[in-house]
Amino acid sequence: MTLGGFLSLRQSCPSFAAPIDSRNGAAAAAASNPRALRFRHKSFPRATYLRAPRRAMDPPRCLGSSGLEEATDDIAAAATLHRGVPSDLVEKMMYDALVWSALHGLVVGDRRVQNSGTVPGVGLVHAPFALLPMSFPKAHWRQACELAPIFNELVDRVSLDGKFLQDSLSRTKKVDAFTSRLLDIHSKMLEINKTEDIRLGLHRSDYMLDAETNLLLQIELNTISSSFPGLSCLVSELHRNLLNQYGKDLGLDSRRVPGNTAVSRFADALAKAWNEYNNSSAVVMVVAQSEEHNMYDQHWLCAVLKEIYGVATIRKTLSEIDTQGHVLPDGSLVVDGQTVAVIYFRAGYSPNDYPSEAEWRARFLMEKSSAIKCPSISYHLVGTKKIQQELAKPNVLERFLDTEDIAKVRKCFAGLWSLDDPDAVKSAIEKPDLFVLKPQREGGGNNIYGDDVRETLIRLRQQGTEELAAYILMQRIFPTASLAFLVREGVWHQDVAISELGIYGAYLRNKDKVIMNDQCGYLMRTKVSSSNEGGVAAGFAVLDSIYLT
């Protein structure tokens, strides 16, 4: 099947930041919190959930789910999605799912194979996935979708308040060399009064559903390198495909898996931004890491951009941009002889991406150019955890949003504190399992959980250093755990798992005109909720989709 054929079939998209967050903090949280383990072991009698198969026609779309409303009420069955499935059926679905993944590009580079992170087509393995979608309440799904355009707008407004960003991050700057470098670039742009008339944001807001309060709470808002717009669509498609075939046996309806438009909507946003730049020979430049096992997620986006919109992309590392790039007197960015209309960052969010001054030079070069940056340095800074915590303080959202939106946004804020807050620090030392300690980092594997929270806080407090400002404290969220079939490297295992829902959002603006401000599909990630002694188990997360209940 050609790529074009497949795409036209249903604008299927293919999403994953580093290997799906390999840490297992929240999973550990759920495991260590008996309240969270609410799954029932008893299987439903098969007769109660057998029903006629349904063909997926119009997939339910967020905020407009016509087919969904009339689907029969199989909530009870949904609650047992991964339970009581006979093993021969699991094996059949597994086989079909693995074939489907290979044929449809639901793949990542296989770390066991040399060059699989650098040479496309070498050493592919299916992306880790859940065999069946995870049930998720329709009302919370709608709430998450409704928040996307509000967060898009919030990011844009906060990004314009340079003083707020600099002031909020001023103490972090003293102790965090990476944030400090980003802030330096930001300061230089403020000094030269650099304005970004065309602003493009491709965000992903991540949530967990807190079991005890039944509240949808935001984990974080990603404004740079929001991963898996490509592969997440494919997982939704895989699940619908499996339910079309095996739904009768499972008592499940494929129409309850919402259609996922992340890749086509992100490509649409990139194409619209490219169009605003108004230079038909210019390209979109993907800033990539030199070794990237998640390259196919990115290539999906580029493929849609080319096939549907006729926009060409180039792929460059920060170091290549340093050697091959320059800015013309009129501000145009030229890299490897090509004018760049839009810079799409899938690297540059971690200190590891800047091993030398060359990479920082490249970042600065791009920032001062007239190319549209996705994200600009300001958008990048708005996505920091410190800003998330500042926005949660009383009377801060009021500076950026109107009353109605403030209420919606605040409702999804978990408890967030700076380490300046002695009461919060005291509580976290007393009950570390109820908190997560987060340094100013992106990309997974950096957070501190359980007893390590207490030890770190006591150490920092004793040292009495400025280092406290490098962290924020967050209420730990305990989602309901349920059984799931997790598939990795061709092997499945069933385990107790918890999920995190990401909602993509795209925002494009040219001066006063908002060209796009939409919710754009979703990413579900599911991970095992078992833990080791220290509360940090070997990570095991997979791509998933949702089954609306």
Q: Give the number of other Cβ atoms within 10 Å of residue 243's Cβ.
A: 25
Residue 442 touching ligand ADP (CB under 6 A): yes
User: d(Cα 420, Cα 413) in Å, to the nearest integer?
Assistant: 19
Candidates 26, 68, 362, 536; binder of ligand ADP (CB under 6 A) is 26
What is the per-residue binding string for ligand ADP in 208-227, x denoting contact by CB under 6 A?
-----------xx-------
Residue 415 touching ligand ADP (CB under 6 A): no
E strands present in 175-266: 198-210, 215-222
Nearer residue to Mg ion within complex by CB, 97 or 221: 221
Q: Give the number of other Cβ atoms within 10 Å of residue 103's Cβ.
A: 10
Residue 279 a catalytic site member = no
438 annotated to bind ligand: yes
Contact call for residues 548 and 253 (beta carbons, < 8 A): no
State both tokens at 92.
């059949």
Nearer residue to Mg ion within complex by CB, 220 or 297: 220
Residue 482: alpha-carbon gap to chain centroid? 21
User: d(Cα 315, Cα 320) in Å, to the nearest integer?
Assistant: 10
Residue 525 a catalytic site member = yes
Residue 385 a catalytic site member = yes
User: d(Cα 388, Cα 392) in Å, to the nearest integer?
Assistant: 7
Question: In the complex, which residue's CB is closest to Mg ion?
Answer: 220
Given ligand ADP, Mg ion, none, residue 544, with its beta carbon under 5 to 8 Å by kind, binds none
346 annotated to bind ligand: yes
DSSP letters, 80-138, are TTTSS--HHHHHHHHHHHHHHHHHHT-EEE-TTSTTTTTSTTSSEEEPPEESSPEEE-H
Q: Which 452-491 positions form the footprint of ligand ADP (CB under 6 A)?
A: 474-477
Contact call for residues 236 and 259 (beta carbons, < 8 A): yes
474 annotated to bind ligand: yes
Q: Determine which one of 188, 443, 467, 539 is catalytic.
A: 443
Q: Least separation, in Å, of the C-beta of 206 and Mg ion?
A: 5
Residue 212 a catalytic site member = no
Given Mg ion, ligand ADP, none, residue 56, with its beta carbon under 5 to 8 Å by kind, binds none
User: d(Cα 103, Cα 122) in Å, to the nearest integer?
Assistant: 15
Q: Which 160-219 positions form the footprint of ligand ADP (CB under 6 A)?
A: 206, 219
Candidates 324, 446, 494, 530; binder of ligand ADP (CB under 6 A) is 446
Stretch of 117-125, 390-398, 434-442, 483-491 lying at the interface with ligand ADP (CB under 6 A): 434-442
Q: Determine which one of 227, 232, 482, 529 is catalytic.
A: 227
C-alpha closest to that of 141 among 46, 236, 42: 236
- What b/e readout covers 420-450, taking b as 16+ CB neighbours within 10 angstroms? eeeebbebbbeebbebbbbbbbbbbeebbbb
| Interface ranges with Mg ion (CB under 5 A) | 220
Which residues line the annotated binding site for Mg(2+)?
220, 222, 442
What does the binding site for ligand ADP look like in residue numbers (CB under 6 A)? 21, 23, 25-26, 29, 206, 219-220, 414, 436, 438, 442-444, 446-447, 474-477, 500
Active site residues: 204, 220, 222, 227, 385, 438, 442-443, 525
